Amino acid sequence: MNNYSEIYKKELLDNVIPFWLEKSKDDVNGGYFTCLDREGNVFDTDKFMWLQGREVWMFATLYNKLEQKQEWLDMALHGADFMEKYGRDEEGNWYFSLNQKGEPLVQPYNIFSDCFAAMGFGALYEATKDEKYAEIAKSTFENILKRKNNTKGHYNKIYPGTRDLKSFSLPMILSNLSIELEPVLDKSLIDQLIKDSIHEVMDVFYHEDSGLILENVNLDGSFSDSFEGRLVNPGHTIEAMWFMMDLGKRINDEALIKRSVDIAINALEFGWDKKDEGIFYFLDLKGAPTQQLEWDQKLWWVQT
């Protein structure tokens, strides 16, 4: 184990981080290039707010947790500056993408740009103690909560009333935010958020019969026998269980950690491709075909 941790640390610090430091900074327009080929050449200049937010978070977090290197902090500030200037619409919602100069391309049609922005600015506040960043993280988080009953707003294609479902992505991301935003939110809010997230993930979206986490359930938490209701995303489950383990450590709950490990292993077994190895992207709980064409792909984030 120790051995692996050395290999990964060395690869991260000697190879991955210097690559992004050197190649992804847009010195002309601000922000980061994120569409890079293996040599670091930019093959597209669009700026996706998920990735801008995650890169701010990454460099701020390296600074916070590993070493207070000025170049890491500067790189985080470089992206945050661009995001602050161009990233939001008039209501403070984060766009999905901008062009190279920062002009909006795709509307804020869901809340995930906001989630990654909140995490980035939260980590940057921790690094700088500049209240401006806490304020952006906080107001973004409040916006997420405001939108949580219809995260897609008027972009939502679901006809209301026929089959109202709730999606796992919201409690999942809130469980992550509840740890990441601890420095900027009130303690009572964090405590409530942690409690609610654990309940939603481990009781509501957990499917007793299969021991798996479902991607969508009826509003009362029951199983919906539909394409959406039968959908299982093993990588999502494993990621959520890692958040649950973090929360277990945070609130000192050994039983939660143990249960999370069990569910993660179960998801890994269910999602494993016995023929070609790796973890499937999407599966149907009952073994039917999924609507997702990409169901059998081996996405990098699912495997990591």
In the complex with its own copies, the residue whose CB is nearer, 4 or 300, is: 300
Tell which one of 39, 288, 301, 304 touches its own copies (CB under 8 A): 288
Q: Which residue has the tokens 């890692």?
A: 242
In the complex with its own copies, the residue whose CB is nearer, 103 or 142, is: 103
Q: Which residue has the tokens 């690559």?
A: 19
Asked if 105 interacts with its own copies (CB under 8 A), we say yes
The two structure tokens encoding residue 182:
């601890």
**Binding pattern to its own copies, positions 233-252, x when CB under 8 A?**
--------------------
* Shortest Å distance, C-beta 276 to its own copies: 14
Tell which one of 6, 14, 44, 135 touches its own copies (CB under 8 A): 44
Q: Which residue has the tokens 């601890």?
A: 182
Instruction: Please state whether beta strands 165-167 and 104-106 pair in parallel, antiparallel, or not at all (unpaired).
Output: unpaired
The span from the CA of 13 to the CA of 287, in Å, is: 42
The span from the CA of 248 to the CA of 262, in Å, is: 14
Rg (CA), the chain: 20
The two structure tokens encoding residue 37:
């080929």
**Binding pattern to its own copies, positions 124-163, x when CB under 8 A?**
------------------------------xx-xxx--xx
Question: Facing residues of 88 across strands?
Answer: 94
Interaction site with its own copies (CB under 8 A): 35, 37, 43-44, 46, 95-96, 99, 103-107, 109, 154-155, 157-159, 162-163, 226-227, 286, 288-289, 293-294, 297, 299
